[in-house]
Structure 1
């Protein structure tokens, strides 16, 4: 099915949008992709309506595909993450340093790549990084000792400039980090889809919960303002070892 004519955006009606939705379905677009595109359209027409460019949004009563309120991205297992970091170490300090920060602190890639060497500081005995969160909010990332060592190796005695560098000496970004992940992915145990920086954020969230870190602490350290986002990112909830039955049974049976 192919639409035979185009319509100017401000002249579109509900029927045009529903035909376009059917065409996307016919092309085997994922339900989540279609839902996101319709959401973007709804925002656009809402803006146009508020600015009196149209009298009524054509998105009214358009039924969007129902998708699970949970990211489809998978996370790595403990063993796979260990393999990934071991492979990154072989690529040099900057590759190892940025993956340590993403894996052990769950930072967004934008938060990690904008860091300068002077971001490293100490809160008493604890090494920290002063970071800029999503939306420009200031934040602090406490570093585990292995991450501290990796960060110091990246700084390499420098007092200014980007913390993470590419091989050409420029600031590392999302593309260069993705190239590191692509090279390291071949060393992982078990077949999986492409690993992205965001997959490491999912992995950090899942492993933190598995390790028994309280949800409010995971939310704080992950930089989420809305606690509901934690459920969106968390995977492995069907793991039998995490079932509440173990804690409840032990609590009840230990009563005197």
Structure 2
């Protein structure tokens, strides 16, 4: 009854109060995205004069069609999931007033089982990391961590220095995954070196901070990556593309699919894997394979640059000798 009193007034359901209470059951990026999706839903209801909580299947189909004119299939499905969750919450809290979920029967738009993002190649990653090192210590730390661990930007933003540690000889970071699940992930040598250089002795507080000392935001990292792409001459990417790149490079390096799924913190429906003793083996972390391959690419670039420089020196010496001989002959 207490929930009904909070969510109703004068015998009328208060849509925004219900939505607010529902959003409080979510956290992080999910709450941010669902809040935006529900705002779109309420805007659509207001535009067409419909009560948000008294809809029929046909009206929700119309909402889906409206979404399809503005968003991708994945975004349409997320909107529908947000609204469906809102109805489920209302059914539980206002069971005497909301008795069905009209979104439940709405068909979701089919999405491709293959990611449309291409990610970066090893050579592009080398250029990006080189550019990040030249840009700033903070940028270098951020890009190394995101690229080599596949961490979500929100996970990096929420990480604290106190979450760093060492486990069985591995440098690690404890992060909070979706749903509040804790996971320990490896920070490979190159990323750890970049992070240590950036922290410069800081021992507490947010892992990544702004120039004013405040915790950096997801938008702040996105702006940093955009500027970096322009400086490094790499095609423009989203911050999430670094996570995608981590996965593809790990698989290209021969890492098992299961190891990559664990690294990224993806949910695995196969419960038998809970009995796999090697599942959380830090020695087999895909981060090490990516780090090793990227260092090999960087070493090859440096060797080629050194060779080019050596050739230029030899050519310059040869030209000087030819010129000196020509000058003597002319004299």
SS in 1 for 2:241: helix
Please give the TM-score of this superposition, normalised by the length of structure 2. 0.60
Encode CA deviations 1:18-43: one digit per residue, 9 max, x unaligned.
Answer: 23333344x35333332322232222
The question of whether the paired residues in 1 share the 8 Å contact of 2:153 and 2:218 is answered with yes
Conserved 8 A contact 1:154-1:163? no
Aligned match for 2:261, one of 219, 222, 242: 219
CA contact (8 A) 1:49 1:56 kept: yes
Quote how far apart the aligned CAs of 1:149 are: 0.8
Which of 222, 225, 234 is the equivalent residue of 1:181?
Answer: 225
**CA distance 1:54–1:223, change in 2 (3 Å):** same
Structure 1 residue 60 displacement after superposition: 4.6
Alignment partners' CA distance in 1, 2:111 and 2:154? 27
User: Is residue 2:100 matched to residue 1:56?
Assistant: yes
Structure 2: distance between partners of 1:174 and 1:202: 17
Task: Say yes or no: does 1:13 pair with 2:56.
Answer: yes
Count of residue pairs the alignment pairs up: 224
Q: How far apart are residue 227 of structure 1 and its match?
A: 5.9
Q: Which residue is 1:115 aligned to?
A: 159
Matched, 1:76 2:129: no
Deviations 1:21-78 (A, max 9, x none): 33344x3533333232223222222333344233333235333322224544441222
Would the aligned equivalents of 1:79 and 1:189 in 2 still touch at CA under 8 Å? Answer: no
Quick one: structure 1 residues 117 and 6, their matched pair in 2 at CA, closer, same or farther if it must change by over 3 Å?
same
User: Kindly tell me: are residues 171 and 22 of structure 1, through their superposed partners in 2, closer, same or farther at Cα, counting changes over 3 Å?
Assistant: closer
Seen in structure 2, the aligned counterparts of structure 1 residues 227 and 183 have a Cα distance that, compared at 3 Å, is: farther
How far is the alpha carbon of 1:182 from its aligned partner? 0.5
Q: Quick one: distance in 2 between partners of 1:145 and 1:134?
A: 26
Quote the Cα distance in structure 1 between the aligned partners of 2:125 and 2:83: 38
Q: How does 1:82-97 map to 2 (within 5 A)?
A: 82-97=126-141
C-alpha displacement at 1:198, in angstroms?
Answer: 1.5
For the aligned residue pairs, the C-alpha RMSD in angstroms reads 2.7
Tell me which protein shows more helix as a share of its residues.
Answer: 2
Of residues 97-106 and 27-36 in structure 1, the stretch that sits farther from structure 2 once superposed is: 27-36
Asked if the contact 2:149–2:263 (Cα under 8 Å) also holds between the matched residues in 1, the reply is yes
Q: Match for residue 22 of structure 2?
A: none
**Are the aligned partners of 2:222 and 2:239 in contact in 1 as well (CA < 8 Å)?**
yes
Aligned counterpart, 2:240 = 198
SS of residue matched to 1:102: helix
TM-score by length of 1: 0.76
Quick one: structure 1 residues 61 and 85, their matched pair in 2 at CA, closer, same or farther if it must change by over 3 Å? same
- Residues 1:111 and 1:60: Cα distance change in structure 2 (over 3 Å): closer
